[in-house]
């Protein structure tokens, strides 16, 4: 049975997230339905990252196996045809070894968060970024963000819905760049807790506004979600890429 890898780009605004759910359209469900139409076979797709409702992806990776041997061009083009008009695009399809799994073979997951720091509301970037209207102390945010790097118990930065057995996570990189009113936050790790990136970003924004006086180091040590800041909205978060 051939094992296929597909790389996917999507706008998550109107979806309930990656994972199939009963309460609305998910990326996984639409892909599986499109595959059924394309190859007349029920297929289960496994994604590298379970993005939440409203979260976007520049490069989500998924794998699936089929009984039939179908060319990768047909997989790519056929899925794109059946997915229209949904804002989901199959960037490429390849055949990989049977030991390759989109989720379990991943070494690093890269997320990017976009903040636009200005007074006027967003139009072009509406649902694509978080518009923070109060001027942020970027240098303070940048300094505090350095405490995230490394292995920590990040219990203070996970949602109450998180089902992970451990809150120990290793942040490989945490970078922040400011260009005029745009602030881009880039984070990589092998895995993340539920809403971890959004809580990290929300906490930094609260620090940048002067609303939160505790340092990131103190919040990590506390292991208390109540000590951290708000959860940043999903619209600014992007799954950037997966490294294998």
Give the residue numbers annotated as catalytic, written as ranges: 52
- Distances in Å between the Cα of 194 and the Cα atoms of 47, 156, 161, 177 are 15, 11, 7, 24
Can you read off the two tokens belonging to residue 13? 């605004």
CB neighbour list of residue 152: distance below 8 Å, 6 or more residues apart: 168, 169, 170, 171, 220
Which pairs from 163-170 meet CB under 8 Å and 24+ separation?
163/194, 164/193, 164/194, 167/193, 167/223, 169/193, 169/196
CA distance 192 to 111: 10
Q: Are 42 and 54 in contact (CB under 8 A)?
A: no
| SS3 label, residue 99 | coil
| CA distance linking residue 234 with residue 8, whole number of Å | 18
236, 204 Cβ separation under 8 angstroms: no
**To which H or E segment does residue 197 belong?**
helix 196-209
Q: Identify which of 11, 16, 37, 40 has the alpha carbon closest to the alpha carbon of residue 28.
A: 16
HSE on the CB side for 233, CA within 13 Å?
A: 15
């Amino acid at each position: 049975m051939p094992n296929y890898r597909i790389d996917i780009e999507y706008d998550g605004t109107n979806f309930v997230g990656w994972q199939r759910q009963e309460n609305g359209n998910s990326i996984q469900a639409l892909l599986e339905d499109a595959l059924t139409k394309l190859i007349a076979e029920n297929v289960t797709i496994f994604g590298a990252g379970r993005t939440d409702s409203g979260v976007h992806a520049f490069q989500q990776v998924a794998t699936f196996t089929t009984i039939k041997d179908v060319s990768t061009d047909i997989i790519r083009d056929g899925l794109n045809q059946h997915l229209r008009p949904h804002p989901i695009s199959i960037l490429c399809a390849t055949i990989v070894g049977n030991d390759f799994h989109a989720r379990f073979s991943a070494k690093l997951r890269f997320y990017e968060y976009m903040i636009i720091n200005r007074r006027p509301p967003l139009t072009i970037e509406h649902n694509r970024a978080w518009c923070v209207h109060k001027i942020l102390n970027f240098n303070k945010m940048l300094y505090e963000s350095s405490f995230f790097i490394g292995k920590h118990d990040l219990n203070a930065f996970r949602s109450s819905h998180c089902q992970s057995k451990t809150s120990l996570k290793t942040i490989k990189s945490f970078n922040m760049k400011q260009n005029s009113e745009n602030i881009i936050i880039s984070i990589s790790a092998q895995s993340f807790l539920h809403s971890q990136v959004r809580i990290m970003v929300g906490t930094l924004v609260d620090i940048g506004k002067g609303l939160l006086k505790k340092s990131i180091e103190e919040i990590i040590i506390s292991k208390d979600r109540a000590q951290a800041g708000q959860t940043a909205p999903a619209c600014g978060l992007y799954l950037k890429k997966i490294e294998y």
